[in-house]
Chains A and B, each alone.
Chain A
Amino acid sequence: MRRAGAGLWAALAVGAVGVVGTFAVDGAQRFWANWILWFVVAVCVALGALFIVALQHVTGAMWSVPLRRVPERVAALTPWLVPLALIALFSLPVSFSWTQPGAAASATVALKTSWLNYPFFIARLAVCIALWVLSYRMLVGGSLRQDKTRDPAATIRLRRYAPVFMILLALTLTAFAFDWVSSLEAGWYSDIFGAYLFAGAVTSSLAATTLLAIYLYRRDRLPGVTPDHLYNLGGLLFGFTIFWGYIAFSQYLLQWYANLPAEVFWFQQRTMGSMQGVFILLGVGHFFVPFLALMSRRDKQNWRRLRWVALWVLFMEFVDVFWLISPIQGAGLHLGWPEASFALFFVAAGLLIVRRAMGMGEHMPVGDPFLADGLKFHLR
């Protein structure tokens, strides 16, 4: 375990060198494209994890109580979004089409300046991040305190707050998607885009939750949890894979069909030329691979298989965001050592954060009054 920690720190250091090197060698545009990419990935995984936690409170599901600490730990990425965002703000003059000199000359962008301007944009980000961190304190903090107090009233408070969080999440994540992904190309618009990023966020954080849950399960840190619980995670992963495919295909089909110049140029950048391979990989990898791999009941119950599928889905979330953001650097496939070092840096950082979060409270929410009922869960 300590050796793994040292390895992660080493990876972080190597990655950091590469990240700084990108700025020095390849220039600001590539650096900021990658930084925004990983900022978006981090928001997706952290917020998706908070969503899974809140979902359990909203639905009052029993089976997921023993596993709830797992997404709560993945959500520990949330406070770290603050430094990520602060740095990302410096990308505004470089990466966003509406900040470029001459952008105001474009008639469509000129009409949007009351939305796309520095003060309002930064204010929106500040509000989003503040609400996320606050929600993290409420949802995860409240759950951790309950470990000690064993007070059922905490569950009531969490259940009251969860629907509020859901509404906030819908609004803030949509605003984030429009600001930090869609407005990179200010002319493009698609009103399903918030749902698109949400689908990816939940899928990826479910994958992260599944991976971490299996890791803990194998080491017997989750006593009483059975493959049936993991089966449910697999089922949710399967369901959200279909949901993502559905949303992604709806968006693509409708813009492909109507063929309006204001919309379709965005897909042209992302489906033609050297991005075509990424596009195909995304369709096959983000939808068909997990769909077929998780189709039968036996596959979902088999945690050895599930582990690989979850890892693959996480990788696909990266491909998804790469597909969204990388083309702002112009034609061509921007994939090389800078991308590798960013990946190394952020994956290592994320693992270190989650590893540190493993020390928070018990491995299971022992104060939750429904823990015993949750452990009793079995299929059929």
Chain B
Amino acid sequence: MTDATLPAALRIAPLVEGDVSLGGLDDTVRTWSEKTPPRSWYIAITITSLVALGGFAAIGYMLYTGIGVLGNNLPVVWGFLIINFVFWVGIGHAGTLISVILYLFRQRWRNAISRIAEATTVFAFMCAMIFPAIHVGRPWLPYWLIPYPNQRGMWVNFRSPLIWDVFAVLTYFSVSLMFWYLGLIPDLATLRSTTKSRFKRVVFRLLSLGWVGNAWHWLQYEKAYLLLAGLTTVLALSVHSIVSMDFASSMVPGWHMTIFPPYFVVGAAFSGFAGVVLVFAFVRTAMHLEEYVTPRHMDLLNRMVLFLSCVMAYAYLMEGFTAWYSADPYVKYVFATYVFGGQWWAGWLTITLNCILPQLLWFPRLRRSVPIMVIVSAGVTLGMWMERYTIIVLSLKRDYLPSSWGGYLPTPVDWAILIGSVGFFLTMLLLFLRKLPVIAAWEVKPDIVYYQKQRTEAGHV
């Protein structure tokens, strides 16, 4: 590096700050799993788990009584549950994109944040998968979606987007869970050999499968990691595209848009990155990860949010333009109701929070300001939820025939399930932070060595 001769704007900050060591990283990684976490952790998990329990109680009530307790009815047959499904699937794309696509592009800054991002994916998908399962009218029969030889003498309809969805979501969940676990193995092996608790040693010994870090094992491991990265990239693209096709392959005005697949993928990544920024804005200081998750990491994450926000703006623009350009009166009308209809605020919230608010991040200083990034990311998370609300509810409300127009009003059960899913997600995340290594230590260790070497070289010169 020719850092000293470069102007400040071109200098690149190191990815680890301060005098860190390999062992120090291992100690940081297991802060909460070896020591008692702060009181705030206990308070937080009490609240989130109670909220989650409330959500599950609402689900139980819904299952016991019937889905009539929800707000959806003709013509708005897809209500909160499908909005929440798409929303959580979207958040769940962060892990893959950060961990996998940035890995393919050899972006080393992903190493320190990949583990939490992958965890976000897994937990968001757990939330997401609840919704379609309880949304089917007879929740004891969803196994009919699996193609197996049966006495009904029928096969599933493989040309139905809903069946694509089943395959996509199940594949994505199992693959991201496996990918997450695979990344954990070497770190669990480290914990196994250093933990003081006897019980944990047994558990980690089993979970780490007897990993000892043999060079030959590492060689295979990295190869598998690379292959998984490539495959999971395609998977991430396909999954949210398929979710979008639940809508786009229909003829509902406002849904049938050819840009939907890439637009949904970008939207998913967008909300996912915002979610990860939110998580790190708190975890970074709470768990004292500042040395490994530096302001540069947050800056880069926020750049991604900004970039994706611009792509979202492009997609909205294209949708609006094409709605007009199609010269189709129904499509034009539905798009007009998004921004000028009775629920105009839904469309405007979507546009403001997703496209206008993140433009703050053009300024480097704001990209590194924690309050700003929390506001922007929270806005994006809400905005993306509103986007799905706009697409689903506002499109269904205004069908082709004015005689079949209708309204939609969510019930308290709808709200309880939505809020409960947030509680469930946060509970899982807090448990993860408490029990498992929060940074992929085996990936960050080479970076530490790299910067250590650089510093000693600079010292000698």
Say yes or no: B318 contacts A174, CB within 8 Å.
yes
Say yes or no: A242 contacts B310, CB within 8 Å.
no
Say yes or no: A190 contacts B258, CB within 8 Å.
yes
CA distance A153 to B7 in the complex (A): 8
A280 in contact (CB, < 8 A): no
The 0/1 profile, CB within 8 Å of B marked 1, for residues 315-333 of chain A is 0000000000000000000
Say yes or no: B251 contacts A258, CB within 8 Å.
yes
CA distance A373 to B2 in the complex (A): 9
Residues on B with beta carbons closer than 8 Å to the beta carbon of A242: 234
Say yes or no: B326 contacts A194, CB within 8 Å.
no
With A190-B258, A254-B256, A254-B260 known as contacts, the answer to whether A152 contacts B249 (CB < 8 A) is: no
Say yes or no: B318 contacts A194, CB within 8 Å.
yes
The 0/1 profile, CB within 8 Å of B marked 1, for residues 190-202 of chain A is 1111110000000
Size range of the interface on B? 20 to 34
A32 in contact (CB, < 8 A): no
CA distance A189 to B319 in the complex (A): 11
With A253-B249, A258-B249, A262-B326 known as contacts, the answer to whether A152 contacts B6 (CB < 8 A) is: yes
A170 in contact (CB, < 8 A): yes
What are 9 residue pairs bridging A and B, where the CB atoms are less than 8 Å apart in the complex?
A108-B327, A111-B327, A190-B322, A192-B318, A195-B262, A242-B234, A257-B245, A373-B1, A373-B2
Give the residues from 87 to 137 in chain A that come closer than 8 angstroms, CB to CB, to chain B. 107-109, 111-112, 115
CA distance A115 to B258 in the complex (A): 21
A251 in contact (CB, < 8 A): yes
Residues on A with beta carbons closer than 8 Å to the beta carbon of B319: 191
Tell me the smallest distance from the CB of A239 to a CB of chain B, in Å.
8
Say yes or no: A189 contacts B322, CB within 8 Å.
yes
With A111-B327, A191-B259, A258-B256 known as contacts, the answer to whether A369 contacts B250 (CB < 8 A) is: no
Say yes or no: A170 contacts B245, CB within 8 Å.
no
CA distance A89 to B7 in the complex (A): 47
Residues on B with beta carbons closer than 8 Å to the beta carbon of A167: 310
The 0/1 profile, CB within 8 Å of A marked 1, for residues 22-50 of chain B is 00000000000000000000000000000
Given contacts A178-B325, A189-B322, A262-B326, 4 further A-B contacts (CB under 8 A): A156-B10, A191-B257, A246-B241, A262-B328
CA distance A29 to B173 in the complex (A): 54
Residues on B with beta carbons closer than 8 Å to the beta carbon of A107: 327
A155 in contact (CB, < 8 A): yes
Residue in A closest to B323 when the chains form the complex, CB atoms = A191
Which 9 A-B residue pairs are closest in the complex by CB-CB distance? A191-B322, A111-B327, A192-B258, A250-B261, A257-B249, A108-B327, A191-B259, A192-B259, A190-B258
With A247-B262, A262-B326 known as contacts, the answer to whether A191 contacts B321 (CB < 8 A) is: yes
The 0/1 profile, CB within 8 Å of A marked 1, for residues 246-273 of chain B is 0011110000111111100000000000
Residues on B with beta carbons closer than 8 Å to the beta carbon of A247: 262
Tell me the smallest distance from the CB of B165 to a CB of chain A, in Å.
14
CA distance A193 to B322 in the complex (A): 10
The 0/1 profile, CB within 8 Å of A marked 1, for residues 281-307 of chain B is 000000000000000000000000000
Residues on A with beta carbons closer than 8 Å to the beta carbon of B380: none
A260 in contact (CB, < 8 A): yes
Residues on B with beta carbons closer than 8 Å to the beta carbon of A174: 314, 318
CA distance A190 to B328 in the complex (A): 13
Residues on A with beta carbons closer than 8 Å to the beta carbon of B422: none
The 0/1 profile, CB within 8 Å of A marked 1, for residues 49-85 of chain B is 0000000000000000000000000000000000000
Residue in A closest to B107 when the chains form the complex, CB atoms = A59
Say yes or no: B327 contacts A254, CB within 8 Å.
no
Residues on A with beta carbons closer than 8 Å to the beta carbon of B318: 174, 191-192, 194
With A155-B10, A156-B9 known as contacts, the answer to whether A254 contacts B262 (CB < 8 A) is: no
Say yes or no: B256 contacts A152, CB within 8 Å.
no
Residues on A with beta carbons closer than 8 Å to the beta carbon of B433: none
Q: Which single member of B2, B310, B327 contacts A372 (CB below 8 Å)?
A: B2
The 0/1 profile, CB within 8 Å of B marked 1, for residues 162-175 of chain A is 00001100110010
B122 in contact (CB, < 8 A): no
Q: Which single member of A171, A178, A250 contacts B262 (CB below 8 Å)?
A: A250
Say yes or no: B262 contacts A189, CB within 8 Å.
no
CA distance A171 to B327 in the complex (A): 21
What is the interface of chain A mostly: helix, strand, loop, or mixed? helix
CA distance A152 to B3 in the complex (A): 12
Query: Interface size on A (CB < 8 Å)?
Result: 41
CA distance A242 to B245 in the complex (A): 19
With A191-B257, A194-B318, A251-B258 known as contacts, the answer to whether A112 contacts B10 (CB < 8 A) is: no
Tell me the smallest distance from the CB of B359 to a CB of chain A, in Å.
11
Tell me the smallest distance from the CB of B233 to a CB of chain A, in Å.
9
CA distance A152 to B7 in the complex (A): 7
B237 in contact (CB, < 8 A): yes
Residues on B with beta carbons closer than 8 Å to the beta carbon of A194: 318
A255 in contact (CB, < 8 A): yes
Residues on B with beta carbons closer than 8 Å to the beta carbon of A246: 237, 241, 261-262
Say yes or no: B259 contacts A258, CB within 8 Å.
no
Say yes or no: A115 contacts B260, CB within 8 Å.
no
Say yes or no: B322 contacts A369, CB within 8 Å.
no
Tell me the smallest distance from the CB of A145 to a CB of chain B, in Å.
17
Residue in A closest to B9 when the chains form the complex, CB atoms = A156
CA distance A369 to B2 in the complex (A): 8
The 0/1 profile, CB within 8 Å of A marked 1, for residues 231-242 of chain B is 000100100010
CA distance A204 to B10 in the complex (A): 31
Residue in B closest to A380 when the chains form the complex, CB atoms = B222
CA distance A194 to B319 in the complex (A): 12
Residues on B with beta carbons closer than 8 Å to the beta carbon of A254: 245, 248-249, 256-258, 260-261
Tell me the smallest distance from the CB of B383 to a CB of chain A, in Å.
20
Tell me the smallest distance from the CB of A304 to a CB of chain B, in Å.
23
Say yes or no: B257 contacts A253, CB within 8 Å.
no
Residues on B with beta carbons closer than 8 Å to the beta carbon of A178: 325
CA distance A189 to B258 in the complex (A): 9
CA distance A235 to B233 in the complex (A): 14
CA distance A192 to B264 in the complex (A): 12
Say yes or no: A369 contacts B1, CB within 8 Å.
no
CA distance A244 to B325 in the complex (A): 24
Residues on A with beta carbons closer than 8 Å to the beta carbon of B310: 166-167, 170
CA distance A115 to B326 in the complex (A): 12
CA distance A178 to B322 in the complex (A): 10
Say yes or no: B10 contacts A152, CB within 8 Å.
yes
Give the residues from 157 to 196 in chain B that come closer than 8 angstroms, CB to CB, to chain A. none
CA distance A260 to B256 in the complex (A): 10
Say yes or no: B261 contacts A258, CB within 8 Å.
no
Say yes or no: B250 contacts A258, CB within 8 Å.
yes
CA distance A247 to B263 in the complex (A): 11
